[in-house]
Amino acid sequence: MLMKMKKYGVCSLALVLLATVVFTGWNSRASAATPITSDFRSLQDSQIIPEMGAGWNLGNQLEATVNGTPSETAWGNPVVTPELIKKVKAAGFKTIRIPVSYLNHIGSAPNYTVNTAWLDRVKTVVDYAYNEGLYVVINIHGDGYNTVQGGWLLVNSSNQAAIKDKYQRVWQQIANKFVNYNERLIFESMNEVFDGNYGNPNSAYYANLNAYNQIFVDTVRKTGGNNSARWLLIPGWNTNIDYTVGNYGFVLPTDTYRSSTIPSSQKRIMISAHYYSPWDFAGEENGNITQWGATATNPAKKSTWGQEDYLESQFKSMYDKFVTQGYPVVIGEFGAIDKTAYDSTNNVYRAAFAKAISAKAKAYKMVPVYWDNGYNGQHGFGLFNRSNNTVTQQGIINAIMQGIQ
């Protein structure tokens, strides 16, 4: 999260009992939910992944915040326009991930009402992409960071009962807002949620993350209609591949309340992971490591790890663990920052990196979604200029499209 933000320089027993009553009452009413709409296609994993193709993140916009309040222009980007989304589609992207923060736009207990104007704006931006025929992923993004002012979805907080109640109520509102959208809208439970420590996960905190994912699945499903059948996307610890695949505590949520129209042999849950390895190439803001892969010409500028063999092993582990069992994988973020100020050949290796990730994702039946923060200067991830809707990194876009073919 920090690396994306700084690109601009810039409960008591009574509460538990109350939550139980409210949850129970709401659950009993869910049976009267609206039916699945006629335009909703019930796609299997083998169908939806090819349709999603290569994806692009509308980063640093609806998750941007100032003093704990989300605002789409808070981190220097202009207001999102339909023209930008059309340009992204024209470049060949078939999926747009729209990170969304809520934070101070959520009201107080017990209702935790989401600000109507903010949720309406989220819907408007979703519609820009959805109406273009693109797949759209929306999540709760910045609310799960200890480092973000107003962050509350915190696995290491002592107040888990209140957090879970709030989380359930926010997702209930989001899900109801979009209940009639067809299968091209995918909900992602949260973003890079963890306790801020990059070592092995704390097992108790991981259990909290698993609980959030379960609440998310149950809550969305119980709103009925298309939400009872759409694909849902969930992450493991900090969207880290090793901590999701390995024996660190990740638990797949059950999907008890999904539509009875889905055959029992089919899944409707996807797994989210992010890929920025090696970090010294992809994210560190200095000129030490500017090249990547087998075509690197200067060994001193190439990382000692995280090359093609590492990428292969990481993606294969996700494939073996999840894809083979019917759970598709979405590489919800990947990319490498612009270091051409230090090495004029850097974009060649950024493109090679992007192509390798996209190609490996295609080989292992995953969806690669490039992280674009809208910034095209030094250390930026931008592929487009959002002020004039022009392409700024055609070479990287070409590489992504060649990889996914």
* Per annotation, catalytic residue among 63, 72, 183, 333: 333
Give yes or no: 192 in active site.
Answer: yes
In eight-state DSSP terms, residue 385 is E
Q: At residue 4, does pLDDT exceed 80?
A: no
**Domain ranges within the chain, ordered by starting residue:** 2-7+48-404
Q: What is the pLDDT of residue 15?
A: 35
pLDDT tens per residue across span 226-237 = 999 999 999 999
Separation CA 297–CA 138 (nearest Å): 40
d(CA 135, CA 190): 18
What does pLDDT average to over the chain? 93
d(CA 235, CA 367): 14
Catalytic residue among 63, 183, 188, 192: 192
Classify 67 as helix, strand or coil: coil
- Identify the bridge partners of residue 139 per DSSP, sorted by sequence position: 188
**pLDDT number for residue 33:** 53
Mean pLDDT score, 59-87: 98
Query: 3-class SS at 47?
Result: helix
* Dihedral sign (CA 27, 212, 58, 400): negative
**Burial of residue 137 (number of CB atoms within 10 Å: 0-12, 13-18, 19+):** buried
Does the model's pTM come out above 0.85?
Answer: yes
Highest CATH level, class, for 2-7+48-404: alpha beta
